[in-house]
Structures are given as structure tokens and as C-alpha cells.
Amino acid sequence: MLRVVCVSGRGGEDAVGLGECPVVRDLADGGDLVDKLRVKIDGRTILAAPGKTILEVAEENGIHIPTLCHLDGLRDVGACRLCIVDLYGQLVTSCTTKVADGMEIGTQTETVRAYRRTILELLFAEGNHVCSFCVSNGGCELQDLACELGMHSVRVPYTYRRERVDATHPRFLIDRDRCVLCGRCVRVCQEVEGAHTWGFAERGVTARVITDLAVPWGTAESCTSCGKCVEVCPTGAIARKGASNAEMRKHPELVAELTERRARG
């Protein structure tokens, strides 16, 4: 349903091509006219609401951009860099960059795809992502990204991290060797649950997620055991105890639902 209003002095609904309209407005739900921006994504001219990110606009228009640290309902941090897109030759993360009128964006340029693949290789190389016996096998966002981005092999040597599994929590565990440091657990714990149990410690390759002041999860007093971190974790790093090989199926989409419902009151 085209609800485009072309305001070019003539007024009223108009069938002229979008490219010719100097100012474009959309009839919002309440019937108000809302300013819209024109952006070009992969050659397609698209109308976008101001204040939205490139990622949101692309998704709304059926253009898929790979993501990992992004999750609807959580603040975006631009950490994984997988959602990079080409903006006038610069690479920007689509999850943190707001659309502006006239933007020309490439989501699948050769450079962008090559860099995403290299970044994914770096992610695989830094952890122990042994899919075959992982609880999240078949339900893992990292595993899916390898398929999506066409990663055939990891060209840098694997590091074979060796962290201890923290299974001190009665219901959950964390295997940091499977952690991709997306920070979703940290954000959901802060922004949605408000418990601030998860945080980051150290830096560089030794950076890791911790509970409270780096105490075993089971002894973290702030933890409400709500399990949101389990649901948002994109890999098998944070999992339910008792889940066996390929048995974990997570529901990160619950966060968006939760925040929307809260917003509605």
C-alpha cells in the first residue's frame, strides 16, 4: 500500500517517481504527515523514517544484512562489525549509523563481503567453536553466519582457548571458549533485567564476560536467575544445564517482545 505523498508544490497523492520528489512525506498511522528520507540501498531507492538505522531500514525493506552483536530490543554497540556496509567508500556499521537523506549504501559490495568473511574467520579462530558436540549445534548464530557469509575455511591458525567452564550456577553454565564477546548478555542484564550481573573484564584477547566482580556465577549475588542472558547468547556459550549436544534452542526475539510490551505499559 503506497501511502506516499509528494510535496512539491502540487500536493496530494502523486504517482511520480520517488526520484523526482524534492520532499517526501508519509501518511503515518494517525493520519499525520511524517517527513521521510530517501536512501539508496544496493541501487534501490527506499523511503526511510528519520532516526532509524541503516540496518532497520534495510530489514524493513527485505534487505538482509548479517549481524551478531545486534539484537532487537537492546542498545547497539557496533562491536562485531559484521553488519558493516559501504557508505561512500567508508565502511560503517549499519546497526549504529542512522539514515540521512540521499545516502547511498552498498550492503553486498565485494569489499564488504570479504571483510565480513575475514572478521568471521577471526571469530572462529579465537574461540573453540566445535559445532559437532555443542549444545547449540543447529541453533547457533555463528554457525549460521559461516553458511551465510560463505566461509569455507579459517585461514588464520586457531588459538584453542582454554578457559574453565563456570557451572556454579544451579541452572545455567557459561563456557567462555564459545563466547564471541558480543556483549548481549551484558546489555540484556543491564538494560532489560536491570541486574547488572554481567560485565566485561580485562582487555584485548584476554577480555571476557564476568559475573559480578569476577566471582563464580553461582555466587554472584546480583543474579536473579532470570535466564535472559541464556536466551540472547548467540552461541552455546551461555546454556541451560542439562542440555546435551544440539539440544539448546534459544529465543533472543523474546527481548524485543518484552521491551515492546513494557513500552506499551
| Binding residues vs another protein (CB under 8 A) | 77-82, 84, 91, 93, 96-98, 111, 114-115, 118-119, 122-126, 128-134, 137-138, 143, 146-148, 150-160, 162, 180-181, 183, 199-200, 202-207, 246
Q: 4 vs 151, which CB is nearer to another protein?
A: 151
Contact partners, residue 16, CB within 8 Å, separation at least 6: 6, 8
CB of 85 to another protein, least distance (A): 11
Q: 5 vs 86, which CB is nearer to another protein?
A: 86
Cα 120 from Cα 27, distance rounded (Å): 41
Q: 24 vs 93, which CB is nearer to another protein?
A: 93
List residues bridging with 44 in a β-sheet: 41
CB of 133 to another protein, least distance (A): 7
CB of 193 to another protein, least distance (A): 19
Task: State the Cα angle at 61 between 57 and 65, rounded to 5°.
Answer: 70
Cα 96 from Cα 254, distance rounded (Å): 21
Q: 4 vs 246, which CB is nearer to another protein?
A: 246
CB of 49 to another protein, least distance (A): 18
Cα 173 from Cα 7, distance rounded (Å): 57
Cα 118 from Cα 184, distance rounded (Å): 22
Q: 6 vs 146, which CB is nearer to another protein?
A: 146
CB of 33 to another protein, least distance (A): 26
Cα 30 from Cα 44, distance rounded (Å): 28
